[in-house]
Chains A and B, each alone.
Chain A
Amino acid sequence: MLRSIEVELIKLKRSKIMIVFLAGPALVALLFFSLQASGASLQVWPFYMFAGFVAWATFMLPLTATIIATQIAQLEHGPKTWAHLLALPVPKWRLFAAKAVVTLGLIAGMSVLTGALLAFGGWLAGALDPDNKLIDPAPFAAMAEQMLGDDDAMFGDMDAALLVKNWRLAVAEKLLYVYLSAFLLIAVQLWAAFRFRNFLIPLALGVGGGFFAIFAQTSAYGIYFPWLLPFNTLGFMPDKVNAALSLGLVGGLGAILLMLVDMSRMQIK
C-alpha cells in the first residue's frame, strides 16, 4: 500500500494540484487578513478564526476538494493511463485506495494550512497596525464566566469559560471536525471523478452540491446533505455537531469502501 501511495505522490510533481493546495487556504487567509487589516476588525482571536473556518467549510473546502478529486482522477483519465495501471499485477482496489488516501491527505494538509495562514494573517494585520491587533480572550475567562453565569445556551453543553480559556484547543478541534465531516463529500467527489472521464461531471457535481448547500441549510433534511456537513460541525449544538461528524466521517469511510469495491470492477473498453 505504501508503494502505491508513494507512486501517487510522484504523480503530484509539477501538477496543478499543488497550486490548488496552496491557493485554497491562501485565498481564505488573504480575505480575512484584508478584512482585519482594513479595520473591519473581528477583535477577538477565536471569532476571527471561526469566521475564517466558516468561509473554509462552506465554500473553499467543498470547492477545492472537488478540484483536487477531479485532478487526481484526471491524472489517469487525461493521458489514458488507466489501462496500463490496471494491467499491472497489483490489486486494483489498492491503486484506488492510494488515490483516496492521497486526496484525504491533501485536504488534511490544506486544513492545517488554512488554520496556519489564517493565524498568520491575523497576526500580520496586527503587526502592520496595532489598532487591528486581535485580542487573546484567555485571560478574560473568569470575566466571561461571571458575565454568562449559567446561561451558556449559545455554547450548547460546553462550559463558556473553559471555551474562552482553551480557545486554541477549541479552534483546532473545530478545524479537525470540519475536515473529518468532509470525508463523505470527498468520497462522493472521488467516486464521480473516477467513474466519469469527462471532468465536467464531477466538477458540476461539486459546484452544484456547494450551491444547493445554501438552500439545504433551511431544510429539515439539510443535516444529511454532504456539502453542508463541514459547516454544521462549526455550530455549538452538540447533537447537530455529532450528527454532522458521524455522518461525514462514518458515511465517508463507508462510501470510500463502496467506491473501492465498485472501482475494482472497473473495465477498460
Chain B
Amino acid sequence: MTAIETENLYRRFWRVKAVDGIDLSVPEGAIYGFLGPNGAGKTTAIRLILGLLRPNRGAIRIFGEDLRRRRSKALKNVGVAFETPAHYEHLTGRENLDITRRLLNLDKSEIDRVLETVELTYVADRLVRKYSLGMRHRLGLARALLGKPKLLVFDEPTNGLDPVGIREMREFIKTLPARTGATVFVSSHHLAEIEQIASHVAVIHLGRIVFQGGMTELRSLHAPRLEIACSDAVAARTQLETGVRGVDMRGERLVLELTSMEAAEREAAAVNRRLVEAGLDVHHLAIAPWTLEELFMQVIGAPATSRAAAEGEGGHA
C-alpha cells in the first residue's frame, strides 16, 4: 500500500500555479525526500496533503483513505513537524505535549515515551520560551511521534539548526523507519541531507514533479564519472581521447564519463591499464557518482554548479 498518493493535485493562488497537477506516490516504509528550490511548491503540497489547504482539483489518499471525504480517518496515522517549530511558549514542554495527547485521546505514558525518544526528559517541565531552537525542533518531533503514527511528515526539519543539530536530526530521521516502522516524508532544499537519508525522492520545480523514484533510479539517470590524477595529465588526455567518451580536464585532474554504474569498475580498470601501459604513473583513480545536487540541477534543467565543475578549468574535450 502507498502511504501517500496524490492524483493530479492542483492548487493555484490567484494566477500563480503553486502546485500544478502533481501525482505523488510514497511507498510505505520509505524515507521519501521531497526536494525543490524555494518557491517550488513544497510547502503548498505538504499543506494540501495535510488538509490545511483545499486543492482546486485532484485527490489525496493517505493509506488509501480519501482526505476530502474522510479527513479525520486519513490523518489518524499522521504525525507532523513543521519547518518552524510552533509551540505554546507560556507552557512547559510536557504541557505542550499533553495538549496533543488529549486531543488524540492517548495514554498519559505516551508523553514520557516521546520525551525519552527525543531526549528532552530533562527539560520537560521547563517553559518552552526558555528552550533553544534545537530543543524546540526536538519537541516538535516528540509531538509528531505521539501515538506512534504510521506516517511522519517533516517540513524542512533542519532549518535553522547548527551543524550538530543537523547531524542529530539526520541520524534521528534515518533510524525512524527501522525503529518505528513509520514512513517518513521529508521536504528539504538541503540536498546533502536528503542524499544521506532518503530511499526515494521526488523533485518539484515550478509546481510540477520533474522526477520521482528511488535514489538508485535517480542516480542511474546519469552514469558515474572517473577522476584520474597522474604524472602527465595532458599525455593521459591524449591517450584517453580515443575510445573513451567525454574527457574533461579539471586542473591537474581528468574527469571521464563512464557508461554505467554496473560497468564502472571494469571501465576504470581498463583506463588504468591503458595509462600504465603508456608509461604514466597513476596516483589517483576514483569512481565519482553524481551528487544529488548535480542530479537535481540536471532534472530541473538548471546549469550545474557542482564542486567538481567549479574546481575545473577545462570544458568537455
Q: What residues of chain A have their CB less than 8 Å away from a CB belonging to chain B?
A: 3-4, 6-7, 10-11, 13-15, 75, 78-81, 83-84, 86-91, 265, 267-269
Q: Are A79 and B89 in contact (CB under 8 A)?
A: yes
Contact, CB under 8 Å: A10 / B95 = yes
Whether the Cβ atoms of B86 and A80 lie closer than 8 Å is yes
Q: Which residues of B contact A86 (CB under 8 A)?
A: 51-52
Residue B167, interface by CB 8 Å: no
Q: Are A89 and B88 in contact, CB atoms less than 8 angstroms apart?
A: no
B90 and A13 form a contact (CB under 8 A)? yes
Given contacts A11-B91, A81-B86, A83-B82, contact A90 B103 (CB under 8 A): yes
In contact, B50 and A89 (Cβ under 8 angstroms):
no
The answer to whether B52 and A268 touch across the interface, beta carbons within 8 angstroms, is yes
Determine, out of B71-79, B229-237, B279-287, the stretch whose residues face the partner at the interface: B71-79
Complex: A79 Cα to B136 Cα, angstroms? 12
B169-181: CB near A (< 8 Å → 1, else 0) gives: 0000000000000
Partner of B102 from the list A6, A14, A83 (CB cut-off 8 Å) is: A6
B87 within 8 A of A: yes
Does A79 lie within 8 Å of B100, measured CB to CB?
no
Cα(A78)–Cα(B99), bound, Å: 17
- Residues of chain B within 8 A (CB-CB) of A13 are 90-91, 95
Q: Are B82 and A84 neighbours in the complex by a CB distance under 8 Å?
A: yes
CA distance A13 to B91 in the complex (A): 7
Q: Which residue of B lies closest to A75 (CB)?
A: B88
Is A83 in contact with B88, judged by CB distance below 8 angstroms? no
Contact at B54–A267, with CB atoms within 8 Å?
yes
Contact, CB under 8 Å: B72 / A91: yes
- Given A3-B102, A80-B86, A89-B71, 15 more A-B residue pairs with CB atoms under 8 Å apart are A3-B103, A7-B99, A7-B103, A10-B99, A10-B102, A11-B91, A11-B99, A14-B127, A79-B89, A81-B86, A84-B86, A84-B143, A87-B80, A88-B75, A269-B53
Q: Are A14 and B91 in contact (CB under 8 A)?
A: yes
Q: Which of B53, B54, B104 is A89 in contact with, Cβ under 8 Å?
A: B104
CA distance A241 to B195 in the complex (A): 70
Q: In the bound complex, how far is the Cα of B90 from the Cα of A81, in angstroms? A: 13
Complex Cα distance, B88 from A14, in Å, reads: 11
B13 at the interface (CB under 8 A from A): yes
Complex-state Cα separation, A63 to B76, whole angstroms? 40
Report if B5 contacts A (CB, 8 A).
no
Q: Report the minimal beta-carbon distance from B51 to chain A, rounded to whole angstroms.
A: 7
Chain B residue numbers with a CB within 8 Å of A90 are 72, 103-104
Interface centre among B54, B76, B84, B91 (most CB of A within 10 A): B91
Would you list 20 pairs from A and B whose C-beta atoms are within 8 A, ordered by A residue? A3-B103, A6-B102, A7-B99, A11-B88, A13-B90, A13-B91, A15-B90, A79-B86, A79-B88, A81-B88, A83-B50, A83-B82, A84-B86, A84-B143, A87-B51, A87-B75, A87-B78, A89-B74, A89-B104, A90-B72
